[in-house]
Structure 1
Amino acid sequence: MGKGFYLSKNLAMAGLLLAAIALVTIIVLSVVYDQERSRNSSFPGDGPPSSRVSSTPNPSSSSPSTLGPLEPWQRYRLPDTLAPVFYNITLWPRLEPDQQGLFIFTGNSTVQFVCVKDTDLILIHANKLNFTLFQGHKARLLAVDMAHPAPQIRNSWLEEETEYLVLQLDGMLLAGKVYLLGTQFQGELGDNLEGFYRSQYTEDGVQKVLATSQMQATFARQAFPCFDEPAMKATFNVVLIHPPGTTALSNSRETESVDMESDGIPVTRTTYEPTKKMSTYLLAFIVSNFTFIQAAQDTDVQVRIWARSQAIAEGQGDYALNVTGAILNFYEHYYNTSYPLSKSDQVALPDFNAGAMENWGLITYRETALLYDPIASSTGNKERVATVISHELAHMWFGNLVTLRWWNDLWLNEGFASYVEYLGADHAEPSWDIRDHIIFDVHKVFAVDALASSHPLSRSEEEVNQPSQIGEMFNTISYSKGAAVLRMLSEFLSESVFARGLSSYLNTFAFSNTVYTDLWDHLQLAVEETPDISLPHSVQDIMNRWVLQMGFPVVTVDTRTGHISQKHFLVDPEAEVDRHSPFNYSWFVPIKWMKSGVEQEQFWLLKKTDVQSRVIATGGEWVLANTNVSGYFRVNYDLENWERLLLLLHTDHQAIPIINRAQLLDDAFNLARAKVINTTLALRTTSYLSKERDYIPWASALSNLNYYFLMFDRTDVYGPLQGYIRKQILPLFDYFRTITANWTRVPHGHNDQYNQINAINMACNMGLKGCRELAQRWFSQWMADPEHNPIHPNLKSTVYCSAIAFGGTEEWDFAWRMFQNATVATESARLRAALACTKVPWLLNRYLQYSIDPTKIRKQDATSTIVAVARNVVGMPLAWNFVQEKWSYIFEQYGRGSFSFAGLINGITKRFSSEFELQELKRFKEQNLQVGFGSATLALEQAIEKTRANIRWLADSRAQVLDWLSGEAQ
């Protein structure tokens, strides 16, 4: 069904192109692609007018309130007057510097657009581009219908704040008419990891340069002028000019590659098939010396993995190639829709700011997210490759084929991919039991969504306009909460009904844009076609409560009375919530539960309070709510049921499902932080851990105890805390030492391998006798023979960190040399993190200086390196001082468009728990208001809120925790 639809689109586009080709040629010939840059100086009319003209602002557009009445070009949203049809784009990246030492690219672009409403104004996004002038203006305009010629451009300029090329006309564009806009331009092929940029690497002693792109969310405008909003879909006809011997890739298949000369320079000109109708943020270009491996083509889809030649030769792309086919096959069945394109190229880039990017047909990755070395990489590295590929391939349909209209609904795009990535990876690697790992996403976002400064999944469009506000949407709420609520929806609908509604949605809206409620409509249709499903309200009414209000409830189950209640959960109960809730912070809550190990019939909590007599426990019965953690909420119980569950953990912990043991620990610790239950009750949930051998509960416990480490590792509580954890971890350490024959074998199970890492890591950190010596012995053996590393890849992160932490300059310098010489990206990443583990202050300060030196630490890794130093109790104040001192430089170089920049603020402030640190944080905010915080703006507010909560929690709990630990650590 889908293939016939795609064919008809191609035929329609071919006809359109033929109709316009003569006029397009006029423009393209006038814009010679190989002409060098022509820098614009002052020309008459090359600037904004001094007075208002007749252009009519779009009243629906929103903008910063500080600007007052606005002209259309002062608004961040495009007016609804023009709609693009197709682009012809030619780009020529120079992979060698010019006489000024700059790497540049030149290009030309023609966009055909339809006038939707009469207007005398053209706004098209353009940023950091220098334009060649046509008759004194930055563009040339023609009408397709020669009977109605286009008006002349009266004035043209670049509006830097809103990133527009503004063209004022001396007449009106007419609704229904089609026009062509041609431009010629030059940009810098910078190293800023956005737009069209360069990446550098060394291979066989030779430094090589490649050109690549990152367009999401608002960076396509740095590569060529475009209507750079996700709803402005069009088709793209791409030509790349590149040095002979290099390979040029774009979203669609190559149709022609011709060697030629331009101004005496030998070049290759590569042309591609027209793309499908798509958004600008999904466009991609790469020019490189990479090589590839290719899957045997038993389908019409060409699948290739691209990377540095050495990485491909060493087999680092083989695993990605193996799982890609299986995951694509899974999604075709899951969506009941064929893969929309003819190829799937996946490329590992040495320099890439995000983890990966779902460019349609040309997915880009960090090397650590695509390359797996069977000798040097760990089980965790392998899982990351599988899950990231699964995430990105999920977008080929959900996000690319069907795209959200605006960035305020980013959660549905990223939340969906974050949920189904577990399904795709589980299909590719069924022995991993990876579906339950989504619990870690749930726990991660619970910590953020329990803040008063959280925000709803879907924000109003007025809140998401500026590029920095759009960048701020790429956060834990959008990804992890989105995944959690969609998983909850799939659970109460059933996966088959969910998938059926999804398929209907994708087929209905293929190649177009939607709002999130369109998905609810199609899921509702699937529900109505399924007689055995009964919902208390429509899908939309249920889900709007989870989407349009922030936060989540804590559901309290009283097994003595059957009373069930819900309340908005805040980790700091004294925090003030300013954001209005359209539902008064009440949710429709689906509750799956069990009594004494027997699954019970699901019920719904539809009000703030209810009575369910079925949950009343008698005798020794225990009640467990939210089985399989299918719902996005926390659970509290009456004290008697808590005691029954604690007893069960000690006597028969396996009677509680693994994922629910993890949730009991996480709920208890966070309920205690919120003063809902006693802190000692939370601590008591860890007492059974000496008997626990499963990974997921241990991971949950250590994640929550990490908060205690952060709060107490500078106080007298830390000694008893170490003693207690040492006692709990010893049986796990001994267990793995036994089953691995004294660390000479690898545990068989995927999760067991992770838990072995937990055992060794915590044993070394807590000073367990023999662990540090083991790590230092392995590291010393490696130092003595650098060509033969005796440490298993699963254990390298732990061993490297431990050895460097308890070593000195010699260990650090050795690790630095190994980092510089590493040819496997995952090994490089491990060493880079471990270098931050040293306890020597001057080494840490030197490393912080290295972090912002791109010749030592790649720009993509700068902020995560600073955060790694901050995780070290010795390094935290050094990193904080460094960031305060260098904020202006760090923000300018690393933070303006970075999705991950919020992580820098979050990472550095995790330990903040004193009034002095709170005041420093406030002062930092005030002193840098002029510099700005970009996508970290919300993260800074949340850091202040979390610091206040930490201060209150410490004041209330420190003595209680110390007393309990002192007794238990004996």
Structure 2
Amino acid sequence: MNKIVELLLMLCLLPLLRNVGCDVFERQALADISHSLDDLEEVEEMLAWKREEQILQSTRLPNNVIPLHYDLRLEVDLQEFVVLGRVTVTVRCQVPTSYILLHASDKLEIVGGDSQPILQGQDGDASPTIISWSLHSENDFLLLKLDGELTKDGVYNLKIHFRNVLSDHQFGLYRSSYINKNKQKRYLVTTHFEPTGARKAFPCFDEPALKATFKVTLIHQAEYQAMSNMPVERSVKREDGWVKDHFMTSPKMATYLFAFVVSDLTSVGLKTRSGIEINVSARPSAIAEGKGAYSLGISEKILTYFGDYLGVSYPLPKLDLAAIPDFPMGGMENWGLIMFEETALLYDAEAPSAKAKQKVSHVVSHELAHMWFGDLVTMKWWDGIWLNEGITSYFERLGADFAEPDLKVLDLLTCEVRAAMEKDSLASSRPVYQPVHRTSEIGELFDDITYLKGASLMRMLHHSVGENIFRKAFQNYLQNNAYSSTIQEQLWEEFTQALAQDGQSDLNVKSMMDTWTLQMGYPVVTFTRDYSSGKMDVTQQHFLKDASASSNVPDSKFGGQRFSHYLDTKVIDLEGAGTEDWILGNVEQVGFYRVNYDTKNWRLLINHLRSDRFQDIPAVNRGTLVDDALNLASASMLDITVALDLSQYLVRERSHVAWELAKSALGYISDILSSGTDVYKKWQDYMVHLITLFYNDVSWTDEELTFQEEMGQVVAVDIACENGQHDCVARAKALFARWMDTNDNSHIPERLKKTVYCTAIEYGGKAQWEFGWQRYQQGDTTEQLYLLSALACTKDMDILKMYLEKSKDKSQIRQQYAADVIQGIADKKAGKSVAWEFFVDNWEDFYFKSFNENGALPSIVEKIPQHFCTDKDLENLLLFTKDRDLGTAARTFQQAVESTQANIRWRQNNLDKVQKWLEEKTLST
């Protein structure tokens, strides 16, 4: 090569060499690298190394090749707990490339030697050869280097053999177990792949938009049966006694929705009028006791309802719903094979409970809605997970309401949404649509903002556009994007088009909804009346629980946290409303915002709630008035004495919905006052005053009640016992004592067991706790969960420490319930400090290790410091979070710090006022 050309080439390469890194550049001075062609080849090698480094540091796959089909063969050994696998992925080349990058966990053993990965052209066409492969743990990448380039649009088969050892981690491919009626331990193999667990089971292109078809073969011991997304096409018994099940080919779907189970679960089933086979599977004893019948019946109703409502029939030939003994969440929407935590699928009609029925109907409906939202149409990337979960969380209520209209689930949605409003009132909140830059950030998105705020926004949109437009837009969205992936703009466009076809071309749904999904928070809408003119100013501003945190809120492109223009400043003519007439905003609470009023209107509302006509105001709004008033007081937007005056009306309230909403807001005050204040006993007396008449009305009857009556009884008894009402505590202790004497708890109504157990153990001693622990070890799953919660109620510090130690032992408490133990203890006045100390001491070796990867860590972290409200609490929290890897709970810890700061300011601003108000009310009484 001409020396001048060579030198010019080297000068052109200098900027690239600088990007490789100073250490490389300094090792090779310009004088050294301009010598010869050999040096140029070394430069090219360095540049290739730099390109490879950039590829491996990326969070996303390059999509130079995409998957079309998986042929997956898995041999599952439930004695050795080993899975031997082979996957052949058919891929198409999008861009000519000399490498293939896909996902595989470094815990997955890629088999080499004679079974090392090979690449073949489809139909025997020529293809490059794989010259090396390597696993990279940071992003779970498997890099395959080729000796040549793949051809654009060329189709190739990539075959990889692998080996997997089964663990108990409840993420990816794992084992579960249960004890059967013969006291034998029975194992099963199951999966949980959302969001990034499929790569832990087999090499794959593990991103939601990279959909492909699946052809699966499962080989297992003959004593077990296998289930997967599709029905078994044929089953062959081998000479060695093992069985090979060949499953039908699936439609195109994302890897996180692929699933299988190998177990000895049994099932109960039916066939719908359209020919869909539905089966509910669980432990044999649960099915024999009829606990699968309820979910089977409502599944048929809800599946048919969604198919009719959405204009797209359920597309698979069968649907399995499986209760898994060890499962980290309520349910998981694997297409055609939905997995559930046992109490989310199984219902015991012999021990009826409105709460239990509500839970099963909600979770089943949620997962069935996913068959359309998430499975048929999937978000392109995890930043749009709310398109799966938020939409589904709203449709879940529509489906459950259809199956169980007496539950009035849309009223209850308001109660649940308040949890999202609490989190979204922090400056450390996030938008519904949240960019994802690292894999570790995905787990943060499975929170109340995604699920509950997303559901509330769907409800708000539904009421804004009306039933016909809402239904038509979603039908078009699903039909136009079936078996594909979307972003939220595609959904908004369907709504805008549906409105335009209806002659409403002035409404741009994207412009309206972007203000709710692309920025954090929500507004407080203030109604300020001019009583002389009969007009009212309506203004909006971003609501923050702690007003002093406003300077930390990120700038919004929508104009200072401005939300929908429907809430913009305007003047409304009240059209003859009298000066003594009250005004009520956000009727039935269909909007995701709080409402404030001028002081006189608050007083008018208070006076009306104290009158015999208080039911003129809908029950949902009666509850939200208490909730809004107390939260506005926390934010220094309303004097807390006004909010407390309003709460007095509750003495006449009998709606469980109103009480559930009020209970949450009043409970916040209770939690803060319980942390080292002298006011706490007076506050408990006030709560007893509010609830006693309701408590007396519903009594302790174990007779069959309507759903609404039963829920009212549960909330009244719970509040009374929680605040030490004498009769409630005495009755609970007596019922528990009778159980201890007779070894029979059939006299305790199922719906009241949780309260009875907790109260008796709280006011009891070591004997009550040990009896509860013994019954926990012997009970079924539902009974165990009642007791698990109740055992945290003891005030004995030594017992609480022992209980926390037990929660680490999987042989005593299932791992998925270990979180419930520490959360339950942290929720009690006596246990707050014990729970925190144990959490800190066991963070690395237990909580982070066990719950970070499967997505459960944020919910644990959220609960443990929720009652922190002192300077010492804040100091401990800041010390713990400093310079520490917080994993998927990083944002949750940030929110815990902000909540603690807000709680401290609440005490500073309101403690004396609350004490004075309570003393005055006591004196007046």
Match of 1:439 among 410, 414, 421: 414
> Could you tell me how far apart the structure 2 residues matched to 1:619 and 1:447 are?
34
Mean Cα deviation higher: 357-366 or 289-298? 289-298
> Could you tell me how far apart the structure 1 residues matched to 2:745 and 2:486 are?
55
Alignment partner, residue 950 of structure 1: 903
| DSSP-derived class of the 1:770 partner | helix
What amino acid sits opposite 2:703 in the alignment?
R
- Conservation of the 8 A alpha-carbon contact between 2:542 and 2:562: no
The Cα shift of 1:493 comes to 0.4
Q: 1:803-856: per-residue Cα shift (whole Å, max 9, x none)?
A: 111111111111111111112x22111111111111111111000001111111
Alignment partner, residue 95 of structure 1: 78
> Could you tell me how far apart the structure 1 residues matched to 2:606 and 2:317 are?
56
- Do structure 1's residue 897 and structure 2's residue 853 form an aligned pair? yes
Match of 2:545 among 547, 571, 586: 571
- Do structure 1's residue 843 and structure 2's residue 818 form an aligned pair? no
Alignment partner, residue 59 of structure 2: 76
What does residue range 464-483 of structure 1 map to in structure 2 within 5 Å? 464-483=436-455
| DSSP-derived class of the 2:760 partner | helix
- Do structure 1's residue 512 and structure 2's residue 484 form an aligned pair? yes
> Could you tell me how far apart the structure 2 residues matched to 1:811 and 1:96 are?
40
| DSSP-derived class of the 1:865 partner | helix
- Conservation of the 8 A alpha-carbon contact between 1:89 and 1:236: yes
- Do structure 1's residue 397 and structure 2's residue 375 form an aligned pair? no
What amino acid sits opposite 1:725 in the alignment?
M
Match of 2:643 among 672, 682, 695: 682
| DSSP-derived class of the 1:389 partner | helix
Alignment partner, residue 89 of structure 2: 111
> Could you tell me how far apart the structure 1 residues matched to 2:100 and 2:311 are?
41
- Conservation of the 8 A alpha-carbon contact between 1:559 and 1:615: no
Sequence identity (%): 37
What does residue range 793-942 of structure 1 map to in structure 2 within 5 Å? 793-823=750-780, 825-926=781-882, 929=884, 932-942=885-895
- Do structure 1's residue 315 and structure 2's residue 314 form an aligned pair? no
- Do structure 1's residue 181 and structure 2's residue 158 form an aligned pair? yes
Alignment partner, residue 98 of structure 2: 120
| DSSP-derived class of the 2:160 partner | strand
Alignment partner, residue 27 of structure 2: none
Residues 396/376 of structure 1: CA separation in 2 closer, same or farther (3 Å cut): same
- Give the TM-score normalised by structure 1: 0.88
> Could you tell me how far apart the structure 1 residues matched to 2:522 and 2:755 are?
35
- Do structure 1's residue 539 and structure 2's residue 499 form an aligned pair? no
What amino acid sits opposite 1:834 in the alignment?
A
Q: 1:762-794: per-residue Cα shift (whole Å, max 9, x none)?
A: 212222222111011111111122244310100
> Could you tell me how far apart the structure 2 residues matched to 1:285 and 1:869 are?
36
The Cα shift of 1:663 comes to 1.4
> Could you tell me how far apart the structure 2 residues matched to 1:848 and 1:511 are?
46
Match of 1:366 among 328, 341, 346: 341
Structure with the larger RCO, 1 or 2 (CA within 8 Å, 6+ apart): 1
Contiguous gaps of at least 5 residues in structure 2: 1-42
- Conservation of the 8 A alpha-carbon contact between 2:523 and 2:563: no
Alignment partner, residue 598 of structure 2: 638
The Cα shift of 1:402 comes to 0.5
| DSSP-derived class of the 2:207 partner | coil
Alignment partner, residue 486 of structure 1: 458
- Conservation of the 8 A alpha-carbon contact between 1:729 and 1:763: yes
What amino acid sits opposite 2:325 in the alignment?
P
> Could you tell me how far apart the structure 2 residues matched to 1:71 and 1:467 are?
16
| DSSP-derived class of the 2:309 partner | helix
> Could you tell me how far apart the structure 1 residues matched to 2:852 and 2:764 are?
37
- Conservation of the 8 A alpha-carbon contact between 2:513 and 2:564: no
Alignment partner, residue 46 of structure 1: none
What amino acid sits opposite 1:641 in the alignment?
N
- Conservation of the 8 A alpha-carbon contact between 1:54 and 1:120: no
Residues 788/719 of structure 1: CA separation in 2 closer, same or farther (3 Å cut): closer
What does residue range 155-554 of structure 1 map to in structure 2 within 5 Å? 155-204=132-181, 205-261=183-239, 265-376=240-351, 378-460=353-435, 464-531=436-503, 533=504, 537-554=507-524
Residues 848/50 of structure 1: CA separation in 2 closer, same or farther (3 Å cut): farther
Residues 799/362 of structure 1: CA separation in 2 closer, same or farther (3 Å cut): same
> Could you tell me how far apart the structure 1 residues matched to 2:130 and 2:192 are?
32
> Could you tell me how far apart the structure 2 residues matched to 1:452 and 1:134 are?
55
What amino acid sits opposite 1:121 in the alignment?
Y
> Could you tell me how far apart the structure 2 residues matched to 1:923 and 1:905 are?
15
Mean Cα deviation higher: 609-618 or 873-882? 609-618
> Could you tell me how far apart the structure 1 residues matched to 2:205 and 2:834 are?
44
Residues 679/666 of structure 1: CA separation in 2 closer, same or farther (3 Å cut): same
The Cα shift of 1:534 comes to 7.1
- Conservation of the 8 A alpha-carbon contact between 1:838 and 1:844: yes
- Conservation of the 8 A alpha-carbon contact between 1:571 and 1:670: yes
Q: 1:889-919: per-residue Cα shift (whole Å, max 9, x none)?
A: 1244322223231121111101111111111
Alignment partner, residue 633 of structure 2: 672
Pairwise CA RMSD: 1.7
What amino acid sits opposite 1:830 in the alignment?
Y
- Conservation of the 8 A alpha-carbon contact between 1:412 and 1:516: yes
Match of 1:129 among 88, 104, 108: 108
Residues 808/51 of structure 1: CA separation in 2 closer, same or farther (3 Å cut): farther
Residues 123/434 of structure 1: CA separation in 2 closer, same or farther (3 Å cut): same
Residues 152/661 of structure 1: CA separation in 2 closer, same or farther (3 Å cut): same
The Cα shift of 1:744 comes to 4.1
The Cα shift of 1:618 comes to 2.8
> Could you tell me how far apart the structure 2 residues matched to 1:650 and 1:758 are?
21
The Cα shift of 1:336 comes to 1.1
The Cα shift of 1:132 comes to 1.0
The Cα shift of 1:54 comes to 4.0
The Cα shift of 1:615 comes to 7.2
> Could you tell me how far apart the structure 2 residues matched to 1:670 and 1:95 are?
54
What amino acid sits opposite 2:719 in the alignment?
M
Contiguous gaps of at least 5 residues in structure 1: 1-48, 58-68, 98-102, 591-603
- Conservation of the 8 A alpha-carbon contact between 1:548 and 1:582: no
- Conservation of the 8 A alpha-carbon contact between 1:138 and 1:157: no
- Give the TM-score normalised by structure 2: 0.92
The number of equivalent residue pairs is 872
- Conservation of the 8 A alpha-carbon contact between 2:272 and 2:300: no
The Cα shift of 1:876 comes to 1.1
- Conservation of the 8 A alpha-carbon contact between 2:515 and 2:564: no
| DSSP-derived class of the 2:335 partner | coil
The Cα shift of 1:613 comes to 2.3
Alignment partner, residue 120 of structure 2: 142
> Could you tell me how far apart the structure 1 residues matched to 2:614 and 2:600 are?
18
> Could you tell me how far apart the structure 1 residues matched to 2:434 and 2:876 are?
31
> Could you tell me how far apart the structure 2 residues matched to 1:569 and 1:352 are?
37
The Cα shift of 1:145 comes to 5.5
> Could you tell me how far apart the structure 2 residues matched to 1:340 and 1:172 are?
38
> Could you tell me how far apart the structure 1 residues matched to 2:871 and 2:727 are?
39
- Do structure 1's residue 653 and structure 2's residue 653 form an aligned pair? no
> Could you tell me how far apart the structure 1 residues matched to 2:666 and 2:73 are?
55
Residues 719/159 of structure 1: CA separation in 2 closer, same or farther (3 Å cut): same
> Could you tell me how far apart the structure 2 residues matched to 1:516 and 1:336 are?
20
> Could you tell me how far apart the structure 1 residues matched to 2:267 and 2:66 are?
37
What amino acid sits opposite 1:962 in the alignment?
Q
The Cα shift of 1:584 comes to 2.1
> Could you tell me how far apart the structure 2 residues matched to 1:163 and 1:324 are?
37
> Could you tell me how far apart the structure 1 residues matched to 2:518 and 2:500 are?
24
Q: 1:458-482: per-residue Cα shift (whole Å, max 9, x none)?
A: 123xxx1333210111011000010
- Do structure 1's residue 583 and structure 2's residue 558 form an aligned pair? yes
- Conservation of the 8 A alpha-carbon contact between 2:131 and 2:146: yes
Match of 2:658 among 697, 700, 725: 697
Match of 1:743 among 691, 701, 726: 701
The Cα shift of 1:571 comes to 0.5
Alignment partner, residue 21 of structure 1: none
